[in-house]
Amino acid sequence: MTVVVVGIGPVSESDVVAVARHDAKVELSPDALEALAASRGTVEALAGDVEPHYGISTGFGALATKHIPVEQRQLLQRSLIRSHAAGSGPEVEREVVRALMLLRLSTLTTGRTGVRPQTARTLAALLNADITPLVHEYGSLGCSGDLAPLSHVALALLGEGSVRDASKRLVPACVALTAAGIETLSLGEKEGLALINGTDGMLGQLLLACADLDLLLRTADLTAAMSVEAMLGTSAVFAADLQALRPQPGQAVAAANMRALLADSPIMASHAGPDCVYVQDAYSMRCAPQVAGAARDTVAHARMVAGYELASAVDNPVVTLDGRVESNGNFHGAPVAYVLDFLAIPAADVASMSERRTDRMLDTARSRGLPPFLADDPGVDSGHMIAQYTQAALVSELKRLAVPASVDSIPSSAMQEDHVSMGWSAARKLRRSVDALTQVLAIELLTAARALDLRAPLQPGPATGAVVAALRQTVPGPGPDRYLAPEIEAAVAFVRSGAAVAAADAALPQPLA
């Protein structure tokens, strides 16, 4: 069993994926426990101070001017969590909730938030017991952080609200915690605020999207290569010296992938002589590395921003290294929101190019000898005609999802929070974009595989042929029209699981980059 050690330093993207998707256990390091105890001492020293300290002896947001007497300060923290657990709408995915829980735990263990070691231990215990608080899709404005989603998590620490237990049943939190032997928390000064004032939800979704896009961009190189091969295109344009004339790093990677995938292809060799009239392919074929490469570079930029955020201690107020408790604005989600919005643009564009290649394979005027719609008996059969319709609908949705959320700010908290990031909304739509891109690429792969089969007796290259063979284990080859939706779903699973890229990698000297 994988164990992620959470210390005073940042967790990594791979740590987040391991905990969120693969149920890795978490363990608090000794230095993290020491840092927690030290910063807690600072907060407790200020708890009886006559001078007001935000989050310790005052109300929150627009109510920060309200002084809270000592005897009501535990009630203050509990009331904060109850009132801010105000989400609505569909249940957020388990992996997203687990990611935000780990990221919040990572911030707590920096020792900059002032919570007790016991509080961090309880949050870790929920993760290790596979207890997932019920979080709703709507409620976060991305400033002050992801308040509502994190409040639903904090509510579970109090034994309130609903959770999914280890068997994925929806049960009261108190029932799940008791069954797991986890003692519920009574929050001390500042602890409620420290549990909810962060960008962890949007950051978790950014990290998961980056991991997904790594796979999908390798898949895009694969489907593009299969389509170029199926349509008797040229691979000469992907030559390293031509790509080096424009030294965009992602473009070089994508072109190298396509060269490897098309190497030693009998189909490509069949028309490589001087008699070939196809001297220049359409943009959707010729410029595939430029688009998929730019998408890679966008992911790299997003990862840079995510790295800064992983190294951050986002809370307000924060316990400084020299023992002060100071208000700040680091909870504003703009840096994360911008790159979440940014990633939706290349997701839409890569999908758009994929759909154009699919349409080209189906059009007898442009497919260079393939039957109309790749149908067995055109007219009686429609082949993949409507699969392209599905792609078109998905691409249209992707274009709508590429409209940024972060440009839209609605003031809240009686104008105290008069500018918000909407980063959570950007994250939610990016998840839909990633899912739609997966489906679009799967339909291109399904179509290109059929087209390659129809080029028989000519055979595809070793790598693309291996992908077709792997797909044929669940989806049969060309023939009369069949119920197509299950075959599309099988192709989507083939792409999403990484099996398509794995099949290509197994036939290549080096795996796709």
**Residues 89/138, Cβ–Cβ less than 8 Å:** yes
Locate 107 and state its tokens: 């911030």
Would residue 138 show up in a list of annotated catalytic residues for this protein? no
What is the pLDDT, as a whole number, of residue 84? 95
Listing DSSP states for 429-470 in one string gives HHHHHHHHHHHHHHHHHHHHHHHHHHTTTS---HHHHHHHHH
What is the pLDDT, as a whole number, of residue 61? 66
Cα–Cα separations (whole angstroms), residue 320 to 11, 56, 279, 313, 493: 20, 15, 65, 10, 48
Residues of the chain with pLDDT below 70 are: 49-50, 61-62, 277
Q: What is the DSSP letter of 367?
A: S
What is the pLDDT, as a whole number, of residue 404? 97
Give the predicted TM-score (pTM) of the model: 0.96
| pLDDT, tens only, 96-151 | 999 999 999 999 999 999 999 999 999 999 999 999 999 999 999 998 889 999 99
**Residues 310/221, Cβ–Cβ less than 8 Å:** no
Element (DSSP H or E) covering residue 241: helix 240-244
- Which 3 state secondary structure label does DSSP give 5? strand
Nearest to 453 by CA among 147, 226, 203, 143: 226
Strand segments (E) across 238-374: 318-319, 325-326
What is the pLDDT, as a whole number, of residue 62? 63
Question: Which single residue is written with the structure tokens 């990594």?
Answer: 12
Catalytic residue among 54, 283, 338, 483: 54
